Structure 1
Amino acid sequence: MNPGAPETGLAEPHLAEILKTVSLDVEYVRAAGNHLFRLDDNGREVPVLDFVGGFGSVLLGHNDPEIVAYARKLLDKQLPIHAQFSRASHADRLAAALNEILRREHGDDERYFAIFANSGAEAVEAAVKHAELDRTLRVAALTDGIAANVEAARALVRAGRAVVADGAFDRAGVRERPQDPEAGFDALVAGIERHNAHRLSAPPLFLAPEGAFHGKLMGSVQLTHNEAFRAPFRSLAAQARFIPLDQPEAIRKTVDAERAVLYDVVVVDGSVTVVDRDFPVFCAFVLEPIQGEGGIHEVPPEFAREVRRTCDAIGCPVIVDEIQSGMGRTGSFLAAPAAGLRGDYYTLAKSLGGGVAKTSVALIRESHYHKEFELVHSSTFAKDGFSSLIALKVLELLEADGGALYRRAGELGRGLLAMLEAVRAEFPDVIKDVRGRGLMLGVEFHDRSDAEAPAVRDLARSGFLGYAVAGYLLREHAVRLFPTGSAVNTLRLEPSVRLTDDGIDQLRTALRGVCSVLRAEDGQRFLGGGPATS
């Protein structure tokens, strides 16, 4: 090491090595519109067409001129950023603007209260915490009711007006049955309390679809289906039950399989009997209208209907994660209504900050909201004036001209999807599927674990084929794409509304090039040892 020189290689060095292996270790020096810029060996800027889009964070493009100018204005006027625990009119205006949009999307006037955060995963965790507070309060009401029923029955037994029914002892698991009525009642209550205490000690469960991704924090990672992300931390948080998207009937079956009850007592015609009270096992059903990390899969309408029907039946709230799909990316502010899905909670992030601010929000339906949550949950950097005002500016741009940017996202998405379908038709042996909506699309490549070319075969078997495809596209065509972490053969496309027809043509050429190389199993060219094929 050079004395006096700063040490390098300390920021996630293993990831840096992986990026280098697949030619993705590029440093960018500037960003504008739908392009990032790197420097060549002569120090000249080279534009790279960006279809990663900050993993969905820059719907309006990198460094949107209006947002940047507005950000400068806010900073120049020395807007307070750290003024926690004070009146936050900026955040209240943002919440009101979001509610106005939600009223339009839902067609009704029910309000949603806002809990602000910094990242998508944090917004999910806030929503989950609130849902668990709701469940805890329902459990408390249930146990309070049981306690009141026990005391009422005890009074009747003491007064000689009631006795424990024979079958009640069996139900409560009581083997020793005292002859004295009061002692018998006490034994019955002890059995009930043992059963209930065991049930009450169990953590809540969650429901989520297979392929789900909701972040990698301690709680949100347990809602993420990819076991590689989830399993090492299984003991740290409540567990989820994952449902296949093509099996809506499995939702009810899963709920029935996990059904649990608390025991209660009732007195009928002088007999004390034991009855079941349904226990709220599930905290929430958490799902994305279009799965991002899971490989760009839309929630089918039949699945969405069964989610709502089952959750309404058992009193389980529905948390809709619109962190990637929301903010107009699919051609409307929310993606959920297209599937007929109504959320009791919504989480928004990524493009909410306009590519400049780091902000997110959990929106909670008024009929589910508990004001106590505001005193037990907080976040240092949430709800600040800067990010709130930037988010308001984003909404202003999205809603301008009757939602012109929503229409633009929809039109671009249809054009992009048509191009992808054409490339797939030309290379059906290479591209397995294209799917998605608006500017949230996926291109799935066939597995090539049995390829004759050793380089291609080894990459496929190690799970790095998608990353190598991304490296080829970047190296040979200056197009930036990544596979999804949970569906490694699927490239995820989340460009901005600043994408042009020329950009779509550039991607077409790039995809045809990589498909030609993979069809030919030209491992040398694929890994950078020969000229590109167009």
Structure 2
Amino acid sequence: METTHSESGTPELAEPHLRQLLGAAGLAVEYVRAEGNTLYLRGDDGEEIPVADFAGGYGSVLLGHHHPDIVRCARELLDAGTPVHAQFSRHPYANRLAAELNQIVHRELGTDEPYFAIFANTGAEAVEAAVKHAEMDRVMRLADLRGELAAAVESTRRAVDAGDAVVPERLRARFGIMGTLDDAAAFRELAAHIEPLNGARLDRRPLFLALEGGFHGKLGLSVQLTHNESYRAPFRGLAAQARFVPRESPEALREIHERERGVVLAFTVSGGQVDVVEREFPVFCAFLVEPIQGEGGVHVLSPEFAGEIQRFCAEIDCPIVVDEIQSGMGRTGTLLASSPLGLRGDYYTLAKTLGGGIAKTSAMLVRQARYRPEFEIVHSSTFAKDSFSCVIALKVLELLEADDGAVYRTARERGAALRAVLDGVRADFPEQVREIRGEGLMLGMEFHDQSGAASASVRELAATGLFGYFLAGHLLREHRVRTFPTASALNTLRFEPSVRLTDAELALLDDGLRDLCRALAAGDGERLVGRAAVAG
């Protein structure tokens, strides 16, 4: 790859290809300050230019950039010399954070079952911790099953040897045991056939279930649970195997289970006769579900399908991992976006706003019925569970819960105001805007596919695969509005501002989106590109 240079002449060595893409789309600006719902970029003359931030750190700054209470808390912690690196010691602040999370989760789910907390740094790491724990649980359940199968072989052998049970002809015929072997010899031959068969089946690699359109991270394991093929394909040989379930398709759940289910053969004795019965064993390690698919185009899980997933997973004993990394922490008006859907997870992953826009932290919660304490020894993270991030997260929860949950109410109210703006644009430009989706302050605006547009310049933009980024570049350049498309649905722009969103910023967004739609309606692709064609 040819080395490029920045404006200062310094070689571009920090992801230079991405820098070029940002330049092409008109998004390669430097932000120098942030507060509230505003980022300030550096202009050509060095001046600060305010930008209304509707991207919100991909949902990380629900409370706004540099919330004064969080900044004050951070300064106090650093001034006091709080230990950031005190691994393998007591962490009472982490325990307080786990307890506070439990209190809110219990209220929303209507349960008192404890959820144990494993802390991490990023959302993807929290997902990895959840699926690692689920696999450890599955392996330990398989070990119990292996023991039960071995015990059944031994107890059946004793019954046959003692003359208390016989191997009937139908069973001999079923497994091809020919000749006139006595019962003891016939049983030994049966066991010699079945035990290695069971062993091979139990050694089968785990399968994960996830929804089409889902996004669960880009690390070695989590990327294979993310539906976007372009993210998964280069790393397919590294990690997990997933089966992706179409959204809102309960029949697909049964079809996948029937096709992939695993069974072993177990010996029983009934009425003095040996028999062999099928027992299902856990092939499916976990089902990962986002209540709102952020990167997949802001699709909201319906309560009906949430109920189908809950029932299905209970029937096959498959734990549910509810990925609340982008949707959770109050963005939709509750701590868990899944709780109003009636979906109860065995695992929850939380991140983004948990750090208040300052600390980099995440949490994985496991309900008591699933928890394996052995996991605490085989999994760890250098930067997790420290005093700084935990106390910041406690401050975030305090702010969310203050005044009987005023932030939750504000998220719903500001979300409704944002939705009204987006709905108004769609109503006036139905040929350009296909659909508005989402809940609270997590909304998406999907534009119609422009690959067949009458305008050659618009068709060219659509053909780049960066259509949504050019739309975002236009909003930034012409209207000082910042947003991005969702990662796996590039025709959908995301809107995840903070609760400090103002009516003036909504008006700015309204003007920008209407101008953008008028340019699309006029087939003015050159205007959408603007100076971005030569930037970067």
TM-score class normalised by the smaller sequence: over 0.9
Q: Give the aligned partner of residue 105 of structure 1.
A: 108
- Tell me, what secondary structure is at the counterpart of 1:347? strand
How do 1:38-53 and structure 2 match up within 5 A? 38-53=41-56
Which position in structure 2 is the counterpart of 1:396?
Answer: 398
Please tell me whether residue 429 in structure 1 is matched to residue 431 in structure 2: yes
**Residue 198 of structure 2 aligns to which amino acid in structure 1?**
N
Give the aligned partner of residue 376 of structure 1.
378
Q: 2:165 aligns with which of 162, 165, 168?
A: 162
| Partner SS state of residue 236, structure 2 | helix
Q: Is the 8 A contact 2:208 2:242 kept in 1?
A: yes
**Partners in 1 of 2:224 and 2:40 — Cα distance?**
37
Question: In the alignment, which of 66, 74, 81 is matched to residue 84 of structure 2?
Answer: 81
C-alpha contact (below 8 Å) 1:420/1:508 kept by paired residues: yes
Match of 2:26 among 23, 40, 55: 23
Match of 1:118 in 2: 121
Amino acid of the structure 1 residue aligned with 2:290: E
Q: Aligned partner of 1:385: which letter?
A: S
CA contact (8 A) 1:174 1:188 kept: no
Counterpart of 2:238 (choices 228, 236, 239) is 236
SS at match of 1:9: coil
* 2:56 partner letter: G
Q: After superposition, where does 1:1-400 map in structure 2 within 5 Å?
A: 8-169=11-172, 171=174, 173-174=175-176, 179-400=181-402
Q: Deviations over 1:393-440 (max 9, x none)?
A: 000011110110110010000011011101101111101111111000
Specify whether residues 490 and 362 from structure 1 end up closer, same or farther in structure 2 by C-alpha distance, changes over 3 A only: same
For residue 334 of structure 2, what is the amino acid of its counterpart?
A: S
Alignment of 1:487-498 (within 5 A): 487-498=489-500
- Alpha-carbon distance in 2 for matches of 1:486, 1:240: 17
Query: Is the CA contact 2:25–2:470 (under 8 Å) kept in the aligned structure 1?
Result: yes
Query: Any idea what the Cα deviations from partners look like across 1:56-82, whole Å, max 9, x if unmatched?
Result: 111111111111111011000000110
The alignment partner of 1:528 has SS state of helix
CA distance in 1, matches of 2:190, 2:309: 38
8 Å Cα contact 1:168/1:188 also seen in 2: no
- In the other structure, the counterpart of 2:411 is 409
**Do the aligned partners of 1:448 and 1:457 also contact (CA within 8 Å) in 2?**
yes
Give the CA deviation at 1:178: 6.9
Corresponding letter in the other structure for 1:104: R
Distance in 2 (alpha carbons) for counterparts of 1:312 and 1:174: 37
Distance 1:280 1:498 in 2: 46
Contact 1:177–1:187 (Cα < 8 Å) also in 2: no
- Report SS of the residue matched to 1:115: strand
Q: Secondary structure of 1:295's partner?
A: coil
Q: 8 Å contact 2:26–2:531 — kept in the other structure?
A: no
Deviations 1:208-262 (A, max 9, x none): 1111111011111111111111122222222111112221232223222222211
Deviation at 1:6, TM superposition (A): 8.7
8 A Cα contact 2:323 2:349, kept in partner: yes
Identify unmatched segments of 5+ residues in structure 2: none
Contact preservation (8 Å) 1:60, 1:498: yes
Separation in structure 2 between the aligned mates of residue 285 and residue 401 of structure 1, nearest angstrom? 36
TM-score (normalizing by structure 2): 0.95
Is contact 1:177–1:184 with CA below 8 Å preserved after alignment? no
* Structure 1 SS opposite 2:31: coil
Contact 2:123 2:217 in 1 (8 A): yes
Instruction: Please list the CA deviations of residues 186-206 of structure 1 after superposition, one character each: whole Å capped at 9, or x if unmatched.
Output: 221121123212211211111
CA distance 1:528–1:270, change in 2 (3 Å): same
Aligned equivalents of 1:264, 1:188: Cα separation in 2: 11
Distance 2:170 2:276 in 1: 8
TM-score w.r.t. length of structure 1: 0.96
Counterpart amino acid of 1:278?
Answer: E
Q: Give 1:488 deviation, angstroms.
A: 0.6
**Alpha-carbon distance in 1 for matches of 2:143, 2:167:** 26
8 Å CA contact 1:174, 1:187 repeated in 2: no
The superposition leaves residues 275-325 of structure 1 with CA deviations (integer Å, 9 ceiling, x where unpaired) of 111111111111011110000011011110011101111111111111111
Amino acid across the alignment from 2:344: R
Q: Do the aligned partners of residues 16 and 169 (structure 1) sit closer, same or farther apart at CA in structure 2, a change above 3 Å counting?
A: farther
8 Å CA contact 1:205–1:281 kept in 2: the answer is yes
**RMSD (Å) for aligned C-alpha atoms:** 1.7
The one of 439, 448, 459 equivalent to 1:446 is: 448
- Count matched residues: 527
Q: Does the C-alpha gap of structure 1 residues 148 and 177 become closer, same or farther in structure 2, counting only changes over 3 Å?
A: farther
Distance 1:451 1:177 in 2: 76
One-letter amino acid matched to 1:309:
R
Separation in 2, partners of 1:208, 1:334: 19
Give the match's secondary structure for 1:435: strand
For 1:512 and 1:196, the matched residues in 2 are separated by 63
Classify the secondary structure of the residue corresponding to 1:163: coil
- 8 Å contact from structure 2 (residues 156, 274) kept in 1: yes
**Deviations 1:18-40, CA, capped at 9 Å, x for gaps:** 11111111111111111111111
**Any idea what SS the aligned residue of 1:411 has?**
helix
| One-letter amino acid of the counterpart of residue 109, structure 2 | H
Contact residue 249 and residue 306 of structure 1 kept, 8 A? no
Q: Distance in 1 between matches of 2:219 and 2:167?
A: 50
Mapped to 2, the partners of 1:316 and 1:239 lie a distance apart of 15
CA distance in 1, matches of 2:76, 2:44: 36
